[in-house]
Each structure stands twice: as structure tokens, then as C-alpha cells.
Structure 1
Amino acid sequence: MTGATILHLITMVVLITAATSQAPPTKYINHTVGDNAGWFFNSTTNTTATNYSSWAASQTFNLGDYLIFKTSSNQTVIQTYNLTTFKNCSIDDTSYTDTFVYNGGNTVFNQAFTIIVPLTIQGPNYFFSDASDGIQCQHGLAFDINVSRGLGLPPSPNQPPPPPYREPPGPDSAYPPIIFRPRERGQEIVDLKTGPACK
């Protein structure tokens, strides 16, 4: 191969790599779960409104993003970091540190509402409905995602602002100046190790 051919091949590899690599995220995203289909389950036919695993596979999730569940009180939204809980489609033996139940506070059956879930843990996140003793989850009302770092979590709105900037003190202000005064008549000389010594 000639030097020009090798240079041409290297240029092509660099261009293809640049074209296929994803650009880093520049903002946080709200993901509507299932897009227009929402988060629904038909209990008559035991079918979901869409394929939620396929929907999740088509998305990129990062810390600080939100999942928006447009649903009704017939479904639940369970978020867990525990794969066993997810596979069992049940929250019966879960801990309060790895599994969260979202219901929007709605207790009226068949009432429409929206549940907003922040993505705050990097790595695998699992979502499912445990309604109808897990039947909804077993028939597809479930999906898993992998949350990447992205921009990281945004700063907390409850966090106090940083203190105002102050110019650091100069080198001369670190210690007060040492002043020697001659001893006057009647003053004691104090030895720092042994205490008062003489007059």
C-alpha cells in the first residue's frame, strides 16, 4: 500500500467513527413512557397498549431525565433497582431502599393521572405494574432501562447558594507581626515551659 492509500483509509476511519458516535447530551429529557399509547393495560384481553420493552430500547436515558407515565388508577408504577423484584413482578419481599411505588395519590378506580419519576440512580432501573397480583407485569406492562451519567444530576433547588467570593488574604496577613518590647522595671519574665521565673 502506498502512503496516500493508508492516509486515505485512516481519514475514512476517523470520519466514520465521528459520524457514528453519539454526541454527549446537552440537556435533560422528559420521556413519555409508551409515547402516545401511555402506560395502559387492557384487563379484558390481557394486553398492553404498546410494547414497552421496544419503546425503552429506542430511548437513551441519563441521570436527571424524567419518565412521564400517562396512566390511570387501574395500573401502578413500580420502580426498582432489584432484578429479582422485577422478574417476580411483585413488591412483596422488597426493601424500602431499592423499590418505590408511585400511585399519584389517586384511590379512585379508572381515574386518569400522570406520574413523574426522576432518574436519579445510574445503571439498571426496572419499571413494572404489580396491579392484578402481577398479571399486568407478566403480560408486558414492564420494561428495563440503563441510565447513563449524561450531564449528571442537576443541583438541588433546595441547596443554598455558594458564599460570595472573597479575595484570599495576602502572605503578610497569615500571622500577626511579632513585636519585641524591652522589659520594664517590675515586670516578670515568664518562661513558657516552667512558668514565672524572676523579676
Structure 2
Amino acid sequence: MRRNYNSSKWTVTVALAFCAALVEMFPDVYGIRFITGGNMGWTSYVNYTLWTGNQTFYFGDWLFFVYDRDQDCVLEVSKTNYKTCNGEHPLHNYTRGFGRDVVELNVTHDRYFISSKRSCLRGMKLHIHLSPLPRPPHAAPSKSNFSGLSTLTPPPPIAAPLKSQTSDISLPPPPPVAGLPPLQIVTRHISALYHNSHLPPL
């Protein structure tokens, strides 16, 4: 039992490190896959308003709906039909019949999703609002390599005893690298990977 726990812990640690490395290697790819409802999945009697309130959605993220394919579905509807649980004329039907459907958040306006009318009245309705994507930090303007030559201290005479100058040199901090994602982007990738590491049961 102890060995299985350590193995699982090591696997999660490696996965988190791999995710962070991917974010650093590909800073322009910020999309996160959210399992709708977390461990509860897409089902009745779940407070999805509370769930979305604890998440931050950006343009390019994904919603992963996991549900009972024999009873429920994934319909995108208007705001009015969302309030009345009317799925007769959906804007889009994402149901493919496998109980595993993915929706990309590729538009900036609010999105509304429901299941069948009976399930919708039991709480299976989802309102998604996108937050503005944080801007990556800009690199500091680089200065000419020759601009600081006049401030260098001349070396001591040859006849003088040599003395270590290492402790007297104060190097400026390196400028930020352009294009790398801000810390909050890496943090939400790691957080989403941790919370979505286990799929909810069918």
C-alpha cells in the first residue's frame, strides 16, 4: 500500500513538472481543459454556478463534459432558453453519444449549456463567462554593449599585488525573457492538471 501511494505521488509530481515545462516551451498555448463539474461531472443536483465561481475561464480553454450517455446530453442554448430550460432549438448540440464531449471556448461572449429539460430543471445548466487573458510581460530594452565601457574601473598596475575583484562587482538582474507566460498562467495550468487528474465515473 505504501509503495502504491509513493508511486502515485511520484507520477503526479512528474506530470505537474511536465505541464510546467510545456507551458514554458510553448508560451502562446494557454488553453486549459476543465472537467465540467470537477469530480462530480455533468449530472443532476450539482451547483454549477458555485463550480464556475471557483474557476477562471479564458479564451482558448476547453470544457470536458462527462455524463451518462443514456440520460443526458450537452446543448448550447441562448440566455433566454437557459433560464427556462428550453432545449428544443439549441444553438449547437455537442452530444455525440459517448458521454464524453468537448467544447472549445473560442468566442468571447458568454456561453450557456443545458442538458435535457428534465435534467436541466434538476440543475444541469451551465453559464460560462470568459475573463480577459493576462498579457505576457515585455522584455526590458537591451542596452548597447559599449554603453557601459566608460564606467568600468581600470585594472591595477602590473606591479601591484593582484586582488580579487569579484566581491566588488555588482551585476544587474537579468531582464525578463519576452514571450514567457506570466506566473499566474503557469499556476493555473498546474492547478487544473492537479484537479482534473481523475475523471468522474460514468
Q: Please report the TM-score for the alignment, with normalisation by the length of structure 2.
A: 0.48
Higher radius of gyration, 1 or 2: 1
- The structure richer in helix per residue is 2
Higher RCO, 1 or 2 (CA under 8 Å, sep at least 6)? 2
